[in-house]
């Protein structure tokens, strides 16, 4: 199934012409860790680079059951109605290869998945060469070369994947539900503070009042935090993906954010920082992996680590000992 | 001035006997990065290890002006009155060597600094061998071998030092001021969520009402977060280090926290996790430093990093190129 019969140039031309079958195969190529695929992938990325950067990259998180798919389905339809093209990448933190769940995502976003201007694709969360979420970051660039205007990167609010998504998107949207008992929102520590927009979903029927109460609680809580570097104050809003109420407001907030941060220069600064962090984290990861993949190193590390865990030895002397042992062996 | 004329055993015996001059010299030894000092320091740590672990380690943070020194001075006096011995480590994020500011700290904590059962000392924040704050972590162990019951590790709420302090203490206390305009509390993102106790200081005179309003705002905001792993719900309280109001309540909270988490086993689990994190972060740092300290490696890294910053090349291909270049050179 892996696409190794085409050249990077052929992939590139297909992607630019709007061939979504080739686009899909190109993304599979980016996810591969085989050295030959990696070389081809790097060539393709280099071709796409001048055509990348044109989309608004939107990160979305929220606990399972908050209604992320329906939310993206309805918000996406507003964008499609404006003639925009959009892509949805769903990060599945539970598996490194998630092709099995494509069908699941497409079923959950029924209207979008049948639209020619929409591309939906799961993305593996696993650590790849070049840092956490590296394949997703690369996929973003290829989707931009393919001309998509809005990229949604969706993640479940568990594990470390939100931090990775935050590090590769321009704006971060946190979805909440009202009335679940505020303590049970399951908001992981630190996530609320990454959010540029907080939307309390399912503000419909009996739930409207509770949703508004939750909205006000969060509005108040946000005032206790320092403003973000962007100069943008996180907006809190209530909406219903079911009735569509409040979605246009969120759609407009996305544009306001983009306009404001592009004007202030923060938009560009943040993207450049993200590139450098991508390089630095990938570099660190590769240096450490190379060191630890040497079986002799791994054995000594594990032995000393056990001595630290058992309380026999402190970390600093254990580390001194590590280098002594390794230099004696060399 | 560096103490290299004594043996580890002599340091150890002096420390156990309550010789604070030797204790100070031992801490200076721990802060040294000279290889010969490091060997002696490791020996000393190994001797202290069986006698360490007996204190309650309390992290304290808050912006400058919040009254941290006065707060520790007054809270410490309550502990001293119970016959307890305590030590205060003040982390100065602005410098690696802070011996110059000892006098400053001692002046700010006038009563405590004259008490025989109290030890006050600044601690350098700089990255040492073995990870961020390694010297402070080691100092904690030596102070425990010296028999101190309560260890305060104080840090200014700026920079990365709070995260380091959080990683080496049992309980984390955030000090706030009321009425400064809530948005201006200057709370760095993520800090509120590390706090086990939040105390709104300066609840005295005209300020009592505002302090209580701030206390309630934070109380409400905390409900929006998921409970911490410890099972302990962060407590929010108002106090005045000036009048002493509310300090006994905080003193009791510290004991309640210790009793509750020791009983649940969280206390021990957390300390063990902290040891492992200390080892792992130190290991990573040393592997990376060793790699980068090779001038040939550093040169290639810097060149590729510049290509990423300028947008010429993406991080993943740049990293592939790094290993190709280095293996050709080798």
CB contact under 8 A, A313 and B46: yes
- Do B304 and A37 form a contact (C-beta atoms < 8 A)? no
* Dist CA A164 CA A278 (whole Å): 10
Instruction: Give chain A positions within 8 Å (CB) of B316.
Output: 41-42, 45, 129-130, 134, 138, 282
Measured in degrees and rounded to the nearest 5, phi and psi for residue B214 equal -60, -45
Rounded to the nearest angstrom, the minimum Cα separation between B111 and chain A is 34
CB under 8 Å to A23, separation ≥6 — which residues? A14, A15, A119, A142, A143, A146
Q: What is the pLDDT of residue B100?
A: 39
Question: β-pairing, A235-238 with A131-132?
Answer: unpaired
Summarize the confidence of residues A147-156 as an average pLDDT. 92
3-state secondary structure of B323: helix
Q: B176 to chain A: nearest residue by CA?
A: A224
Chain A interface includes B21 (CB < 8 A) = no
**In this predicted model, which residue has the larger pLDDT, B155 or A180?**
B155
DSSP characters over B302-313: HHHHHHHHTTSS
Q: Is the pLDDT of residue A148 over 50?
A: yes
3-state secondary structure of A36: helix
**In this predicted model, which residue has the larger pLDDT, A57 or B108?**
A57
DSSP structural state of residue B22:
H
Rounded to the nearest angstrom, the minimum Cα separation between B308 and chain A is 7
Summarize the confidence of residues B103-123 as an average pLDDT. 78
Give pLDDT tens digits for B196-227.
999 999 999 888 988 898 888 888 877 776 66
DSSP structural state of residue A226:
P
Please, is B154 exposed, middle or buried when counting C-beta atoms within 10 Å of its C-beta (0-12, 13-18, 19+)?
buried
Per the rule left: phi > 0, alpha: psi between -120 and 50, beta: everything else, B310 is: alpha
What's the pLDDT band for B49 if we cut at 50, 70, 90?
very high
Give pLDDT tens digits for A72-121.
999 999 999 999 999 999 886 554 444 434 445 556 788 888 888 999 98
Measured in degrees and rounded to the nearest 5, phi and psi for residue A118 equal -125, 140
β-bridge mates for residue B198, sequence order: B174, B236
DSSP characters over B202-237: ---GGGHHHHHHHHHHHHHHHTTSPPPTTSPPPEEE
Q: What is the pLDDT of residue A183?
A: 46
Q: Is the pLDDT of residue A61 over 80?
A: yes
Q: Is the pLDDT of residue B247 over 60?
A: yes
pLDDT over 90 percentage in chain A? 56
Closest CA to B313 of A89, A138, A37, A31: A138
DSSP structural state of residue B54:
-
DSSP characters over B228-253: PTTSPPPEEEE--TTT-TTHHHHHHH
Q: Among the ranges A14-28, B62-76, B153-167, B207-221, which has the highest mean pLDDT value? A: A14-28
Q: What is the pLDDT of residue A126?
A: 59
Largest CA distance in chain B: 72
Instruction: Give chain A positions within 8 Å (CB) of B188.
Output: 226
CB contact under 8 A, B308 and A193: no
CB contact under 8 A, A217 and B227: no
Please, is B104 exposed, middle or buried when counting C-beta atoms within 10 Å of its C-beta (0-12, 13-18, 19+)?
middle
Instruction: Give chain A positions within 8 Å (CB) of B45.
Output: 314, 316-317
* Dist CA B304 CA B309 (whole Å): 9
* Dist CA B184 CA A226 (whole Å): 7
CB contact under 8 A, B192 and A224: yes
Please state, rounded to an integer, the average pLDDT across all residues of chain B.
Answer: 86
Q: Is the pLDDT of residue A279 over 70?
A: yes
Please, is A7 exposed, middle or buried when counting C-beta atoms within 10 Å of its C-beta (0-12, 13-18, 19+)?
exposed
Instruction: Give chain A positions within 8 Å (CB) of B304.
Output: 279
Q: What is the pLDDT of residue B156?
A: 72
Summarize the confidence of residues A259-270 as an average pLDDT. 94
* Dist CA A9 CA A7 (whole Å): 5
Chain B interface includes A188 (CB < 8 A) = yes
* Dist CA B57 CA B101 (whole Å): 22
CB under 8 Å to A248, separation ≥6 — which residues? A78
Nearest to A182 among B46, B223, B316 (CB): B223
Please, is B82 exposed, middle or buried when counting C-beta atoms within 10 Å of its C-beta (0-12, 13-18, 19+)?
exposed
CA-atom Rg of chain A in angstroms? 22
Closest CA to A284 of A166, A131, A134: A131
Tokens of A37: 């695929």
DSSP structural state of residue B49:
G
**In this predicted model, which residue has the larger pLDDT, B131 or B251?**
B251
**How far apart are the two ends of chain B, measured CA to CA in Å?**
44
* Dist CA A55 CA A148 (whole Å): 6
Neighbours of B47 (CB within 10 A): 18
Tokens of A287: 């240096």
- Do A151 and A140 form a contact (C-beta atoms < 8 A)? yes
Chain A interface includes B330 (CB < 8 A) = no
**What is the set of domains in chain A, with CATH numbers?**
1-51 (1.20.5.170), 53-264 (3.40.50.300), 294-329 (no CATH)
Nearest to B287 among A38, A129, A291 (CB): A291
Instruction: Give chain B positions within 8 Å (CB) of A134.
Output: 315-316
Tokens of A166: 């935050």
CB under 8 Å to A171, separation ≥6 — which residues? A56, A57, A58, A59, A196, A197, A254, A257, A258
Q: Is the pLDDT of residue A208 over 80?
A: yes
CB contact under 8 A, B46 and A317: yes
CB contact under 8 A, B189 and A190: yes
Instruction: Give chain B positions within 8 Å (CB) of A157.
Output: none
Specify the range with the lowest mean pLDDT, choosing from A225-234, A261-270, B57-66, B163-172. Answer: A225-234
Specify the range with the lowest mean pLDDT, choosing from A105-109, B69-73, B179-183, B271-275. Answer: B179-183
Would you report the helix, strand and coil content of chain B in percent, each value rounded to 5? 55, 15, 30
Nearest to A282 among B49, B189, B319 (CB): B319
- Do B299 and B277 form a contact (C-beta atoms < 8 A)? no
- Do A188 and A158 form a contact (C-beta atoms < 8 A)? yes
CB contact under 8 A, A287 and B283: no
* Dist CA B19 CA B32 (whole Å): 20
* Dist CA A117 CA A122 (whole Å): 17
Tokens of A145: 């070369």
Instruction: Give chain B positions within 8 Å (CB) of A54.
Output: none
Per the rule left: phi > 0, alpha: psi between -120 and 50, beta: everything else, A198 is: beta
Q: Is the pLDDT of residue B83 over 60?
A: yes
Q: A300 to chain B: nearest residue by CA?
A: B283
Q: What is the pLDDT of residue A107?
A: 63
DSSP characters over A61-96: EE-TTS-HHHHHHHHHHHHHHTT--EEEEEEETT-S
Q: What is the pLDDT of residue A132?
A: 56
Rounded to the nearest angstrom, the minimum Cα separation between A294 and chain B is 13
Tokens of B165: 């302090």
Which site among A224, A276, A303 would you substitute to test the B interface, given the most B Cβ atoms closer than 10 Å to its Cβ? Answer: A224
Q: What is the pLDDT of residue A253?
A: 96
User: What's this model's pTM, rounded to 2 decimal places?
Assistant: 0.82
* Dist CA B189 CA A193 (whole Å): 6
């Amino acid at each position: 199934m892996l696409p190794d019969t085409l050249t990077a140039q052929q992939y590139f031309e297909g992607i630019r012409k709007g061939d979504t079958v080739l686009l899909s195969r190109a993304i599979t190529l980016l996810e591969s860790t085989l050295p030959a695929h990696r070389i081809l992938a790097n060539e393709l990325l280099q071709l796409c680079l001048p055509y990348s950067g044109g989309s608004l990259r939107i990160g979305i998180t929220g606990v399972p059951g908050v209604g992320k798919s329906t939310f993206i389905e309805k918000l996406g339809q507003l964008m499609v109605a404006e003639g925009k093209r959009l892509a949805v990448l769903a990060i599945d933190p539970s598996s490194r290869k998630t092709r099995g769940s494509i069908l699941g995502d497409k079923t959950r976003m029924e209207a979008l998945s049948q639209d020619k201007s929409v591309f939906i694709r799961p993305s593996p969360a696993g650590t790849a060469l070049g840092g956490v979420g590296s394949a997703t970051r690369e996929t973003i660039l290829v989707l931009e070369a393919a001309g998509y205007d809005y990229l949604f990167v969706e993640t479940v609010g568990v594990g470390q994947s939100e931090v990775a998504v935050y590090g590769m998107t321009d704006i971060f949207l946190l979805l909440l539900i009202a009335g679940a008992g505020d303590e049970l929102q399951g908001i992981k520590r630190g996530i609320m503070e990454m959010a540029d927009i907080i939307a309390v979903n399912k503000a419909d029927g009996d739930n409207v009042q509770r949703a508004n109460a939750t909205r006000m609680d969060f509005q108040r809580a946000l005032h206790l935090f320092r403003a973000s570097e962007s100069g943008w104050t996180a907006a809190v809003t209530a909406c219903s993906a079911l009735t569509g109420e409040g979605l246009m407001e969120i759609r407009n907030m996305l544009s306001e954010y983009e306009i404001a941060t592009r004007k202030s220069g923060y938009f560009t600064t943040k993207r450049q920082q993200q590139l450098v962090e991508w390089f630095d984290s990938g570099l660190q990861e590769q240096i450490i992996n190379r060191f630890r993949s040497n079986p002799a190193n791994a054995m000594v590390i594990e032995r000393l680590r056990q001595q630290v865990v058992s309380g026999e030895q402190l970390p600093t002397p254990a580390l001194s000992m590590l280098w002594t042992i390794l230099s004696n062996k060399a």
